[in-house]
Amino acid sequence: MGLESAFPKVGCCATAGRWMPGRSLCDVSFFGVSPRSGSGRSESPAIDLRVAALVWLVTWFFGQLLGAFIVGLFPRSVSDGEAGELRSIGVLALALAASWVAYSAGLWWASRTAGSRDLRQDYRWRWSWADLGAVPVGIVAQLVIVPGVYVPLRRVWPEVFSSDRLEENARRLVESASGMWIVVLVLLVVVGAPLVEEFVYRGLLQRSIATQVSAPVALLVGSAWFALIHFRPVEFPGLFVAGLIFGGCLMVTGRLGTAIAAHAAFNMAGLAQVWTA
């Protein structure tokens, strides 16, 4: 099922100064955007920004709603004790999977209604073995560049940007995982999150923003969007810089695979750093 069910049907819509019956908000021409047709080769480089922003807003909302509902079904999964901690990773997996399904539906809908109907074309989903060259970029970003960003901040606000606060979430996840749950955690953090987030924040949003402003400005806006939506102020500077690096990979190569590889390596290096600590 696409996102059509998320939009109410309306009785009419304005077209060329006239009201036309039987139009739906799911018809992107309602927003003044004409869907593109063809065999997958599109003249326009990205989904229209209005459609992209709407898709993100709707899918983010429903993803959060589904995730909260799933977490609410297991109120004791975050209780103390090994069993509770292990179950919390499973609940996290279910909640994230639900939000990723919402995002995936939105990406599919945007491509079908305002794109070329080819996900590879609309989101620059291309992969080359050369994209593995971004793995060292992600590792260096996690271990060198992002920590460097916090050095001056920690001098001014030592308690706000302390290492303990920055690593709090990652440490909690690592401490909650053992046995098979370690595999689940790695799949969530190193595979699932980079794949979905790069499709949404770089493939959809950054490229859509670039249809209205210059590519560098789109990179800045997309990176800020990516950082803010994590709702962890202490992590905003690092996430913003990470977003610049991932978005820069897409800009340089024109392939989303490069950004995904850098993001996956970034997350894996973060997990490894907490584990070894």
pLDDT reported for residue 178: 75
Mean pLDDT of 165-193: 86
Share of the chain above pLDDT 90, in %: 60
pLDDT at 33 over 50: no
Higher per-residue pLDDT: 20 or 202: 202
Instruction: Give the pLDDT confidence score for residue 130 in this predicted structure.
Output: 93
| Structure-block tokens of residue 27 | 């018809």
Going from N- to C-terminal start, the domains of the chain cover 1-122, 125-277
Contacts (Cβ under 8 Å, ≥6 apart) of 59: 3, 102, 103, 105, 106, 200
pLDDT, greater one: 81 or 153: 153
> Could you tell me which residues come within 8 angstroms of residue 10 by beta carbon, excluding any fewer than 6 positions away?
23, 24, 25
Query: 């599919």: which residue's tokens?
Result: 108
CA distances from 263 to 43, 139, 241 (A): 29, 9, 12
Spacing of C-alpha 127 from chain mean position:
18
Q: Which of 126, 95, 123 is nearest to 107 (CA)?
A: 123
Within the chain, what is the greatest distance between any pair of CA atoms? 66
Q: Are the beta carbons of 52 and 208 closer than 8 angstroms?
A: yes
pLDDT value of residue 87? 54
pLDDT at residue 127 in the model = 87
Residue 76 has what pLDDT? Answer: 58
Find the mean pLDDT for residues 165-188.
Answer: 84
pLDDT value of position 88:
79
User: What φ, ψ does residue 269 adopt, rounded to 5°?
Assistant: -65, -35
Q: Is the pLDDT reported for residue 37 higher than 90?
A: no
CA distance 9 to 14: 14
Write the CB contacts of 276 (distance below 8 Å, at least 6 apart in sequence): none
223 pLDDT exceeds 90?
yes
Q: Which of 125-134, 151-160, 173-182, 256-265 shows the lowest mean pLDDT across its residues?
A: 173-182
Q: Sign (positive/negative) of CA torsion 110, 115, 117, 119?
A: negative
Q: Are 36 and 58 in contact (CB under 8 A)?
A: no
pTM for this model (two decimals)? 0.80
